A and B are shown apart, each in its own frame.
Chain A
């Protein structure tokens, strides 16, 4: 049990330090790397309390997909160069700081509420309609709850994500003119008659192709 708590403190320490480093570090790409470290140590914590399914899904979704996209955006847009400007007086680009303060205030109060709710956790566990048994693997028990009691919410959240995805594609899609696309069917179905043309070339004039 001692070893268990030692590992718990190691992983939580890494998580907290890297969470701080995400905001503190000057280089934006480093911030993303610290974010990844944070995700990984949190998934380790999940695995330690026996929620291995959640831990693995955390790794696959957040580290394997979301953070890669973050990294992509940060690398491509070169955000690192802009970072210093936001807090300097010369930059008058907008109202980032008040908005940021508002959002962080909201998150702060939410966190306080969540930590306060920790007190009521035993009552909450007793009031659950399903009883948690250790015999069944947690993948199976999550499936049992997710696809029966909460199927409607599950489906609706899937639909919302789908709509968001399609919306993002529609917003960013631009038809570009002059792009040559390859069509396999067109290539394969080409015959000799349309591909080869016998041209009588006139003397001293040559032939104009693509006319």
Chain B
């Protein structure tokens, strides 16, 4: 029992060591998102609070904290309060398995990628709960849209993950990174990387797939009735999910913590920094897409997910496995 508690304490320290940077970087990433968006549109973006406007998100957070939390009278109160908590928690617990370096991971579990996939598929509940509990038309429509969209794109993400797993032969995220030592999977599986990127946009409800919160039709979708800190929690959860998707893309396709080439100036930089560079690179791509692409129509979105991405990624599974089988490259033999 005693040793158990000592283990528990060290784990709590580790978790804090991971969560605090994640939360701070979520705040920073909101600022970066708005800055990139502004630069594409030839605006300045947030540049007033702090140097380059870096503290803008902190100011926003402060504002949200002091705002009143309004719980609609006809809402289902318990579920209404629970929804942002669920979103936030699910966005944060998935960081436990992301490997930042060799032996630099909170939980090195054997089924890491399945864990990530499971947690991201749970993410839809925060949205459904929020939309249903608000007991109002716009949130409900937003929640229905969002649930249908996330379930659809999860399928293609799952198939893409199978592609990567075929090349690795393990569900462990550290093994997935180590398998890319010679060749990042983005090169042989480039079409899958593109589809993963687009599906990640849809999975996190980012533009051009932000139909659940399309302001022209649904006010703000499932978040319409939320205010103050509860709205901010939805918001933080959303951005933490986006970061997580970027991290997943970096680990699956861009070689995680590995440096691009194993020669002098590159391999001195420690692994975590490489992972952060890659996450930032993917995030800037996310922000550029938001700034440049117009919103999809809902039937186009469904068509893209079910009729184009799913058959193509299934076809690619067949292609990858036949290639590996033919050239006798299958791992784990």
**In the complex, A36 Cα to B132 Cα: how many Å?**
16
Whether A63 pairs with B122 at a CB distance below 8 angstroms is yes
**In the complex, A159 Cα to B144 Cα: how many Å?**
30
Contact digits for A60-75, partner B, Cβ 8 Å, 1 yes 0 no: 1001110010011001
B191 to chain A, nearest CB (A): 19
A47 to chain B, nearest CB (A): 9
Interface residues in A14-61 by Cβ distance below 8 A to B read 27, 29-30, 33, 36, 52-53, 56-57, 59-60
A97 at the interface (CB under 8 A from B): no
Q: Which residue of A lies closest to B116 (CB)?
A: A56
Whether A56 pairs with B118 at a CB distance below 8 angstroms is yes
Whether A60 pairs with B171 at a CB distance below 8 angstroms is no
- With A60-B114, A64-B122, A76-B144 already in contact, 9 other A-B pairs whose C-beta atoms are closer than 8 Å: A2-B1, A2-B4, A52-B111, A60-B158, A64-B118, A64-B121, A64-B151, A65-B151, A75-B140
**In the complex, A139 Cα to B30 Cα: how many Å?**
38
**In the complex, A3 Cα to B115 Cα: how many Å?**
23
B276 at the interface (CB under 8 A from A): no
**In the complex, A27 Cα to B135 Cα: how many Å?**
14
B123 to chain A, nearest CB (A): 9
Give every chain A residue within 8 A of B76 (Cβ-Cβ).
27
Contact digits for B134-175, partner A, Cβ 8 Å, 1 yes 0 no: 000000100010010001001000100000000000010000
A66 to chain B, nearest CB (A): 11
A89 at the interface (CB under 8 A from B): no
Give every chain A residue within 8 A of B171 (Cβ-Cβ).
53, 139
Report which of A2, A52, A72 forms a contact with B147, defined as CB distance below 8 A.
A72
Q: Hey, which bits of chain B sit against chain A, CB under 8 A? A: 1, 4, 76, 79, 109-111, 114-115, 117-118, 121-122, 124-125, 128-129, 132, 140, 144, 147, 151, 154, 158, 171, 299-300, 332
Whether A53 pairs with B128 at a CB distance below 8 angstroms is no
Give the A interface residue count (CB, 8 A).
Answer: 25
Whether A72 pairs with B121 at a CB distance below 8 angstroms is no
**In the complex, A59 Cα to B111 Cα: how many Å?**
12
Report which of B79, B121, B299 forms a contact with A182, defined as CB distance below 8 A.
B299
A–B complex contacts, Cβ < 8 Å, 24 sampled: A3-B1, A3-B4, A29-B132, A53-B110, A53-B114, A53-B171, A56-B111, A56-B114, A56-B118, A59-B118, A60-B118, A60-B158, A64-B151, A65-B151, A68-B124, A68-B147, A68-B151, A71-B147, A137-B110, A139-B110, A139-B171, A140-B332, A182-B299, A182-B300
SS of A interface (majority): helix
**In the complex, A3 Cα to B151 Cα: how many Å?**
36
- Known A33-B79, A60-B117; contact A139-B125, beta-carbon cutoff 8 A: no
Give every chain B residue within 8 A of A53 (Cβ-Cβ).
110-111, 114, 171
Whether B128 pairs with A64 at a CB distance below 8 angstroms is no
Contact digits for A119-142, partner B, Cβ 8 Å, 1 yes 0 no: 000000000000000000101100
**In the complex, A36 Cα to B124 Cα: how many Å?**
13
Q: Which residue of B lies closest to A54 (CB)?
A: B111
Highest count of chain B CB atoms <10 Å: which of A3, A27, A53, A60: A60
Whether A60 pairs with B299 at a CB distance below 8 angstroms is no
**In the complex, A56 Cα to B128 Cα: how many Å?**
22
- Known A68-B147, A68-B151, A75-B132; contact A57-B114, beta-carbon cutoff 8 A: yes
Whether A59 pairs with B147 at a CB distance below 8 angstroms is no
